[in-house]
């Protein structure tokens, strides 16, 4: 039987004589042993980088990490900000949240808001992006006009739309009455069947500009060679839109979908300004319900528990985004 050759590693290399003393040669730069340094040694080597990172790490630790840990601590207590006694209650806050019908209603209202506002904002933004990507006159002016609601403070937009919805002197009722579409003024924000659609409409107006700009960037990144090849093959406008534009915009659509859902799950400003959660809790969303328990009922423990429920929902959608974004590039063009 033929003897197998012995393979030497760098650690098995023969010792060499160095200055009268025998020692093994140092591992080369590509060796895995070359990077075996203790953690303190590596930190000391990169100490200048850690010095520059220290202010940001300190701010993050105090205002984010410490606050998060304290919020977890609050969930196990009945923590009233106006009472000195703050007893430990264990998992009572979580059990109360599961059986809280108003919390369940706020979750359903939030899902209703997200399911209506996000697709409408994306569809309207895509339509505007397709129109404003054409060689039109004054398209720069139109792009600016459609993007203005995005940079307008949300409180200002909510107050403006609350005035438009006013049942006595609002412009919506005025023009609908003048056009004989309705016979009596509509109570947009006081009717339980109209309040949430009214808030959704305002949110679509405020968010369409962002979707438009992102879709414009996606449209301008599509290679023109694909459209030229489609024209050569006899594809019309609708065929190019269906088989070229829409597939190439799938990563952009995924980004807008996930960001829109995350943002809509945290809706608060327009609810607070326009409806105060009414009528009969029909517009009470998760964040507004959390606000009520924190700053109206002064129970920070239960409010923190609601906050972690919202965090869990956001975590699910973020994980979904990461999973979809890691798919092979070819999967988006399929």
- Residue-wise pLDDT for 21-65, tens only, equals 555 555 555 455 545 568 788 888 888 888 898 999 999 888 888
pLDDT tens track for 284-296: 999 999 999 999 9
Question: Is 87 or 41 the better-scoring residue by pLDDT?
Answer: 87
The string of DSSP letters for 176-232 reads HHHTTS-SS---TTTSTTTHHHHHHHHHHHHHHHHHHHHHHHHHHTS-HHHHHHHHH
Q: What is the chain's mean pLDDT, rounded?
A: 87
Fold category of 99-332 in CATH: MetI-like fold (1.10.3720)
What is the rounded CA–CA span in Å between residue 14 and residue 23? Answer: 9
In this prediction, residue 23 carries a pLDDT of 52
In this prediction, residue 11 carries a pLDDT of 47
Residue 326 pLDDT > 70, yes or no?
yes
In this prediction, residue 320 carries a pLDDT of 80
How confident is residue 332, by pLDDT bands cut at 50, 70 and 90? very low
The CA-based dihedral angle spanning residues 178, 180, 186, 188, taken in that order and rounded to the nearest 10 degrees: -70
- For range 198-218, the mean pLDDT: 96
- For range 109-134, the mean pLDDT: 95
Longest dimension (CA), the chain: 108
Residue 286, CA distances (Å) to 97, 142, 200, 232, 292 in order: 12, 35, 16, 52, 10
Q: Where is mean pLDDT largest: 60-64, 150-154, 314-318?
A: 150-154
Residue 307 pLDDT > 60, yes or no?
yes
In this prediction, residue 41 carries a pLDDT of 84
- For range 211-215, the mean pLDDT: 96
- For range 107-116, the mean pLDDT: 95
* Residue whose token pair is 């009528």: 279
At 238, list the tokens: 């609708």
What is the rounded CA–CA span in Å between residue 220 and residue 139? Answer: 15
- For range 205-211, the mean pLDDT: 95
Report the 10 Å Cβ neighbour count for 283. Answer: 26
The string of DSSP letters for 25-43 reads PPPPTTSGGGG---HHHHH
The whole-model pTM stands at 0.81
- For range 189-211, the mean pLDDT: 95
Domain boundaries, the chain: 39-92, 99-332
- For range 161-172, the mean pLDDT: 93
Question: Is 327 or 79 the better-scoring residue by pLDDT?
Answer: 79
């Amino acid at each position: 039987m033929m003897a197998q050759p012995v393979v030497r590693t760098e650690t098995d290399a023969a010792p060499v004589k160095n200055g009268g003393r025998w020692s093994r040669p140092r591992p080369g730069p590509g060796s895995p042993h070359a990077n075996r340094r203790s953690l303190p040694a590596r930190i000391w080597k990169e100490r200048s980088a850690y010095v520059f990172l220290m202010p940001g790490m300190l701010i993050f630790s105090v205002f984010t990490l410490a606050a998060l840990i304290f919020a977890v601590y609050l969930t196990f207590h009945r923590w009233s900000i106006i009472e000195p006694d703050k007893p430990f209650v264990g998992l009572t806050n979580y059990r109360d949240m599961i059986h809280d019908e108003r919390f369940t209603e706020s979750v359903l209202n939030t899902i209703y808001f997200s399911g209506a506002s996000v697709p409408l904002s994306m569809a309207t933004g895509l339509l505007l992006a397709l129109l404003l990507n054409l060689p039109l006159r004054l398209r720069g002016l139109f792009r600016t006009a459609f993007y203005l609601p995005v940079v307008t403070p949300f409180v200002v937009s909510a107050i403006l739309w609350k005035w438009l919805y006013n049942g006595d002197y609002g412009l919506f009722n005025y023009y609908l009455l003048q056009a004989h579409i309705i016979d009596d003024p509509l109570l947009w924000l006081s009717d339980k069947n109209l309040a949430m659609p009214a808030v959704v409409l305002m949110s679509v107006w405020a968010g369409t500009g962002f979707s438009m700009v992102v879709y414009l960037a996606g449209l301008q990144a599509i290679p023109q060679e694909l459209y030229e090849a489609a024209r050569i093959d006899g594809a019309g406008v609708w065929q190019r839109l269906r088989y070229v534009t829409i597939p190439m915009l799938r990563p952009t659509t995924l980004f807008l979908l996930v960001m829109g859902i995350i943002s809509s799950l945290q809706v608060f400003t327009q609810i607070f300004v326009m409806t105060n959660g009414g009528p009969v809790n029909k517009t009470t969303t998760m964040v507004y319900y959390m606000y009520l328990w924190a700053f109206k009922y002064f129970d920070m423990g239960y409010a923190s528990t609601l906050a972690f429920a919202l965090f869990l929902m956001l975590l699910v959608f973020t994980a979904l985004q990461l999973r979809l974004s890691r798919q092979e590039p070819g999967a988006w063009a399929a």
